[in-house]
A and B are shown apart, each in its own frame.
Chain A
Amino acid sequence: MIWQKLKNILHFDTSDKNVYADFYKTYLQQFQKLDTKKQIHQQSFVVLDTETTGLDLVKDNILSIGAVRIINNSMDITDSLSIIVKNEQTQTQNAVAIHGLVQTELKGQSPQDALVAFFDFVGSDIIVGHHIDFDIAMLHKLSKNRGGDVLKNKILDTSYLARRLDHASDPHSLDRKEYTLDKLCTRFNVVPKARHTADGDAYITAIVFMKLVNLLSQKGVNKICDLLK
C-alpha cells in the first residue's frame, strides 16, 4: 500500500497536466490553497467513506462513495454525496457478504460520472475519514484509471485524531486496532446504524469527527494548522 502511495506521488509529480481528463482539469483550476491560520470552525471539511469489492488495492474496486460536508459543527444533509459506482468488473462474493449490496442495487453511475461528481463535491475542503489511507488510495486508482490524478487536499484521519487526543506526544505508539470506527462509536455514544454503507459510515465518522475536534479544542487545538499537525 505504501508502495502504491509512493508511486502515486511520483506519478503525479511527473505527469503532464495537459493530458488530464476534464473532471481533473476543472478540479485543479478551482483548487484553492488552504489558509492554515483559519479557526477550525471557519473551515469546511468533507467527511467521506468508500465501500470496495475487497481490500486489495490492485484487484478490487470502489462500489460506492459517501460524503458529507461539515462547517462550524453543522452538517447539511442536502449538501451530501451518495454515489454507487457502476462496476465493469464482476463483483466478488466477498463484497456481497460484507456490504450486503446485491446485484440489483449495483446500477449506479459510471466511474466517469462518479469522478466528476466526487471531485466537484470535494473541491478544496480538507478531507476527513476513518482509516482514510485506503479510501484515498482507491480513489486515486479510480481517478488515474480515468485520466485524472491524485487529490491535492489535506487529509485527516479520525483514527489518528483519536490517538492524538489520548496521547498527544506520541499518537503512533497507540495500537490502531483499538481505534476502529466501532470502538469510537461506543466511546462517543454514536449509534452505529447502517454500518458498511458508504454514506452511513460517512455520517457516523462525521459525528465522531465533530466530537473529536471539540475535545481537541479543549486541549488548545483551535486553528487549522494545529489540527493538521
Chain B
Amino acid sequence: MKNEIVHRVYDFLKEYPPFSLLPKDAILQISSHVLVKFLPDKTTLFKIGEMPPSLFYIVNEGAIHLHQEDGQMVEHCDEGDVFGIRPLLAESPYLLTAQASEDTILYCIRTEDFLPYLSHHPKILAFLASNFAVGSGNMFYKKSSTPISEGKTNSENVLTELFAIDTQKTPIYCHIQHTIQEAAVLMANHQIGSIVVCDEEIRPIGIVTDKDLRIKVVAGDIRKKENISLIMSAPVICVKHGLSIAELQILMIKNRINHLAVTQDGTIQSKLIGVVSEHDLVVQQADNPSILIREIRKSQSGEQLKRVRDKVERLIKKYIEQEVSIPFITQVVSSINDEIIQQAIKISEHKLGKEIYQNIKYCWLALGSEGREEQLLRTDQDNALVYVQDDAIPDIKDKCMLLAKEVTAILNEVGYEYCPADMMASNPAWCQSVAEWQETFHKWIYQPGEKEIMMCTIFFDYRPVYGDISLASALTNYIFSTFDKQEVFLHLLAKNALENPAPLSFFRNFIVEKNGEHKDSFDIKLRAMMPLTDAARLLTLAARNGGENNTCKRFLALADIEPQNDELYRMAADAYEILIRIRTKHGFKKGDSGRYIQPDDMDKMERLLLRNAFQPIDELQKMIKVRFQLGGIL
C-alpha cells in the first residue's frame, strides 16, 4: 500500500530544489528515509565548529536563521529552503550556527540517500554549490572591474576592455622651461603625437599635442622659440596605474580628451610614470564605447543611430555574459544613450532651423529608467522638456513641441518606442516653461491623487541630458522647497512605495501574474525593481538629496547620510544590480525588455540570487512604514 507519511514528505520535497530536479522514484526513495524533526522557537540545531551528522536539512514549516560567530544573521531559511549541506560536499565542521526563529519542522535528509544522485545530476551539484556559496556569505555576483586573470576566461571571448593596459612604458616628457621647438623635436624623434610637460620633479603640468602645434603654432601666431607653456593644455587629467581600458575610456569620454597622464598616486602631485592615448586603447579593441560614441556623433539620421544602438546592444550582451559589474555597464550605456539623445536633438534642430533654437533656453530631460541611468535594453521613451518663457520669441511652446516631435520620432526609429501613455516632450503637458512646470508640481504636491503620485514617481527621476542644465536645478529647488511646506506629500509617496510588497519567500510564493498576456510569468519590474526604485526615490527626496537619480547610487548616498542603515542600503544597492542583470539577461534571451520572466526559464542560481535580492525590499518597506508613520494610513 502507499504509505501516507512517505507521500506527505514526497509531496513536499518534489516542489523544491534540489529534489525537484530528481525523478519521482528517487524522491520517493529519499522520502521514505527522512527524519522529521520538531525544533521549538529559539532552539539551536547546530553550532559553528560542530562536526555535522550525515544529514542535511530542508525547512518544512517555520524558519531557521543561520548566524555567523559575531551573531550576524547570514541567511533566513523558510519553507522549502535547504541548508546545512556541508556534509554533502566536505568533511568539515559547520561554519555557521543554525537556530529556529519560530517553531519549526525540519525534514532531515540522509546524505547516503542523496549522494548517489549527485554524480549523475550536474544540475544538482551546481545548485548545491551555489547554495553553499550563499551560506558562506558570498551572497552576490563578483564585481569585477579590475582585470580578470587570463586563465579564467575563454581566450576567444576575452573582454579586452577589462584588461589593464600597459601604461608604464617609459614616458616621453619635456620640461616646463623648454621651448616649443625643443618639445616638437622630442615628439618627432620618438614619433609620438603628444608630450607631457613636467616640472623639475617630473610632475605633470600640462600636455601638448600635434593639434596644438598645428593650430597654435603653424597656423597661429605663436612662434616656435617661445615657451612650451604657451600652447599646452593644463591641467592634465591624471590616473593611477592599473585601470582597465574601459575605465580609462570613460574618463576620456567624460572629459572629452584623448590623453591621460599616469602618475604614481593618480594625482598631479606625483611623478609621471606613463601616458595613455585614446589611440592606445582603440588599437586593442573593436566594438568599444568610444568608437561607438564617435559613430553616434557622425550620424545624421535615425536609421544611422539605430545601427549604432544595435552595436551597443552587442556590447552590453558581451558585458553581461562576462559578468562585468552592473554600475560599470550602466555608466557606459547611459553615456551612450545620452549621446544618442543629444545627437537626435542636434539632427532635429538642424532640420528645423538651427537659428530658431539658438535663442531658446531649454533643457531636455530624460525620465524613468533613462533618467535613473539604468536603461540597458531599449524601452519606451519617457522624456520632457523645460524652457524659459521669452515673449520676444513668438510661439515658443509650439517651437519646443515641434522640436520634441522630431526628436521623439528619431528616437522611435532608433528603437525607443513611443511611450504608450504619451509621457513625452511632444505632449503639451510634458513640454512646459519653468513657471508652468512649477505650477504642475504645485498641483501634484498639494492635490496628490493616485495619478499625480504616479506622475511624480516617473517625473521625479528626471535628469538633464541636453541644453541648459540650470533649468533642471531650478525645478529641483522648487520641488524641495514645496516639500518643506507639504510634508504629507512624502507620506503619500511612502504609501505608494509600499504598494508592491516584497515577494520575500520566493520558493514558497512565486508571485506570478494572474491574468492577461503575461499570465504565470514573474514581473521583475513591478515585483522587485519598482519597490527598490520607489524606496530609493522616496528616501532620497526625504533627505533632500537632489542630483542623484540612479537607484544604486541613491542607496549608496543614503548609506553615507544614514550610517546606522549602512548595511541595509548597501544590500539594497547590491540587490538592485542583481535585478538589472537578471532582467537584462532574460531580455536578451527573449528579445524584449526582459520585464516578464517565466519562472521555469530561471536557473537555480538565478532563483537563489533573486531570493536574496528580495530580502532588503522587505526590510526597507518595514523601515519606511515606521519612518513615515504609515500604520494609520495603510
Contact = CB atoms under 8 A, between A and B. Distances in A.
B392 interface: no
Interface stretch (A12-20, A66-74, A139-147, A174-182): A66-74
B356 interface: no
Contacts of B5: 66, 68, 77, 80, 82, 199-200, 202-203
A59 interface: no
Interface residues of B, number: 23
B11 interface: yes
Contacts of B36: 74-77, 203, 206-207
Interface in A179-229: 189, 193-194, 197, 199-200, 202-203, 206-207, 210-211, 214
B511 to A, nearest CB: 21
B612 interface: no
B4 A77 contact: no
A108 interface: yes
A193 B1 contact: no
A200 B38 contact: no
A197 B39 CA distance: 26
A108 B35 contact: no
A35 interface: no
A199 B35 contact: no
A203 B4 contact: yes
A interface secondary structure, majority: mixed
B4 A105 contact: no
A78 B11 CA distance: 17
Interface in B11-48: 11, 31-40
A84 interface: yes
A199 B40 contact: no
Interface in A54-103: 66, 68, 73-78, 80, 82, 84
Given A77-B6, A77-B9, A189-B61, A82 B1 contact: yes
B11 A193 contact: yes
Contact of A197 (B4, B11, B33, B40): B4
Given A74-B36, A75-B36, A211 B4 contact: no
B38 A214 contact: yes
A144 B197 CA distance: 110
B8 interface: yes
A214 B40 contact: yes
Given A194-B7, A211-B38, A77 B32 contact: yes
8 contacts: A66-B4, A73-B39, A77-B33, A77-B34, A77-B36, A82-B3, A82-B5, A194-B8
Given A74-B37, A214-B103, 19 more contacts: A66-B4, A76-B36, A77-B34, A82-B3, A108-B1, A193-B8, A193-B11, A194-B4, A194-B7, A197-B4, A199-B3, A199-B4, A202-B5, A203-B5, A203-B36, A207-B36, A207-B105, A211-B38, A214-B40
Interface of B: 1, 3-9, 11, 31-40, 61, 103, 105, 108
Interface of A: 66, 68, 73-78, 80, 82, 84, 105, 108, 189, 193-194, 197, 199-200, 202-203, 206-207, 210-211, 214
